[in-house]
Amino acid sequence: MHTIKLNTLIFLGLTTVYSCNNATKPNPSQIENQSVTDNSDLSKMIMLADTTFEGHQVSLWTPDSLTNKFESLYLKFEDGKGNPVSDLAVDYEIKMDMGMMAHSGPYSPLVNKGRGIYQADVVFIMANMKDMGKGWLFKTFLKGKDKTDTLTFALPVQQTTIPRTIPTGTATDDRVFVSCLLPPELPAEKHKIEFALHKMDKENFTELNDYTIAVETFMPAMKHGSSENENAVNKGNGRYSGIVNFTMPGEWIVKVKLLKNGESVAQDSLVYPIKIK
């Protein structure tokens, strides 16, 4: 018997796909077989949903409420006695169900964090829309010897009040989504600033690794910026890292330019507000 426990606003479904020989199977993103020390404290996170499945307890977690930006989600697997299970053949994908149409979004391969926890980094390029389909779906594929089971979680993705993922046209890669990973608030000092870059190609999203991201800090109320900022350079897998320096408390913005071969290629202004404490 399949038991489902739901939190508010969460839908969880289960389908089973049986396979043999050359039968069609799901083609999710390739899993990254990397095991690192788990630094995630799920006790401080929000459990979106949980269910029991073939003797396993499966739950989905997030550090905070979900909005249309770069987000990290965490799958947790335990056996019937509450022991972590870290050797499952598991994968996932995300899908925006808008009723009459559907599309994907940028997402990275799962990372095995140990202790039965798997991290999924995704970018929600839009919020759920009222009365339009099921919204964002998180599909988890559990692959066995003869079958693949799919757990489907409906995600409550709301409209963000602070822009963190901004789409822009470019002269080189058409439509690009630029995700800034800064939190809404930070103390006044130097900070690492990270970005994720993805190209939209019809319904698919690919990582972009051949840019430099120029960063400039500015404090509108005081009409000045700061020195000692460092442009964000590619670190692989569509991720970029640089340095920003906030010298005093107040409302700041980070102005961003996409550079390729030293030339600015974005067609839109990319501005990310942040509060410095």
pLDDT given for residue 23 in this prediction: 34
Question: By mean pLDDT, which of 9-18, 43-52, 75-84, 164-173 is the weakest?
Answer: 9-18
Within 10 angstroms of residue 174's Cβ, the number of other Cβ atoms is: 11
Cα-only R_g, the chain:
20
**Contact 126/166 with Cβ under 8 angstroms?**
no
Task: Say yes or no: 109 and 202 in one domain.
Answer: no
pLDDT at position 172: 87
Domain final residue pick, 155, 179, 197: 155
Interval 112-121: pLDDT, tens:
999 999 999 9
H and E: helices and strands count for the chain? 0, 24
pLDDT at 78: 96
Residue with the bigger pLDDT between 187 and 18: it is 187
User: Which residue range(s) make up the domain with 248?
Assistant: 165-276
pLDDT of residue 39: 54
Q: In whole angstroms, give the CA distance from residue 83 to residue 133.
A: 37
pLDDT higher than 80, residue 179: yes
29 has pLDDT over 60: no
Are 170 and 208 members of one domain? yes
- Whole-angstrom Cα distance, residue 161 to residue 137? 22
- Cβ(123)–Cβ(179) below 8 Å: yes
Co-location of 27 and 146 in the same domain: yes
In a domain, residue 160? The reply is no
Q: What is the pLDDT of residue 6?
A: 38
Per-residue model confidence (pLDDT) at position 255: 98
Q: Within a domain: residue 198?
A: yes
- Residue with the bigger pLDDT between 190 and 24: it is 190
Mean pLDDT for the chain? Answer: 87
Considering the domain architecture, whether residues 263 and 148 belong to the same structural domain is answered as no
Confidence of residue 13 (pLDDT cuts 50, 70, 90): low
Look at residue 78 and tell me if it is in a domain.
yes
CATH of the domain at 201: 2.60.40.10
Residue type for position 15: T
The DSSP string of 5-71 is: EE-TT--EEEEEEE--TT------PPPEEEE------GGGSEEEEEEEETTEEEEEEESS--BSSEE
The reply to whether 127 falls in a domain is yes
Which CATH number belongs to the domain containing residue 18 in this structure?
A: 2.60.40
**Tens digits of residue pLDDT in 94-110:** 999 999 999 999 999 99
Task: Label residue 203 by pLDDT band (50, 70, 90).
Answer: confident
Domain boundary among 100, 127, 155: 155
Task: Judge if 130 and 198 occupy the same domain.
Answer: no
Q: How many domains does the chain have?
A: 2
Same domain? 182 vs 88: no
Q: 35 to each of 17, 110, 163, 178, 272, how far by Cα in Å?
A: 28, 10, 32, 28, 33
**257 located within any domain:** yes
Of 155, 187, 222, the residue at which a domain comes to its end is: 155
Same domain, 171 and 142: no
**Assigned domain for 223 exists:** yes
The Cα 199–Cα 197 span in angstroms is 7
Q: Compare 12 and 211 and report the one with higher pLDDT.
A: 211
Question: Are residue 66 and residue 126 in the same domain, yes or no?
Answer: yes
pLDDT digits (tens, 9 = 90+) for 245-268: 999 999 999 999 999 999 999 999
Residues 51, 74 within the same domain = yes
Q: What percent of the chain has pLDDT over 90?
A: 75
Q: What is the mean pLDDT of the segment spanning 158-177?
A: 95
* Same domain assignment for residues 179 and 132: no
Residue owning tokens 């897998």: 237
Confidence of residue 144 (pLDDT cuts 50, 70, 90): confident
| 267 and 223 inside one domain | yes
pTM here?
A: 0.85
What's the number of CA atoms in the CB half-sphere (13 Å) around residue 35?
Answer: 7
**Is the domain of 21 the same as that of 151?**
yes
106, 113, 192 from 210: Cα distances, Å:
17, 28, 20
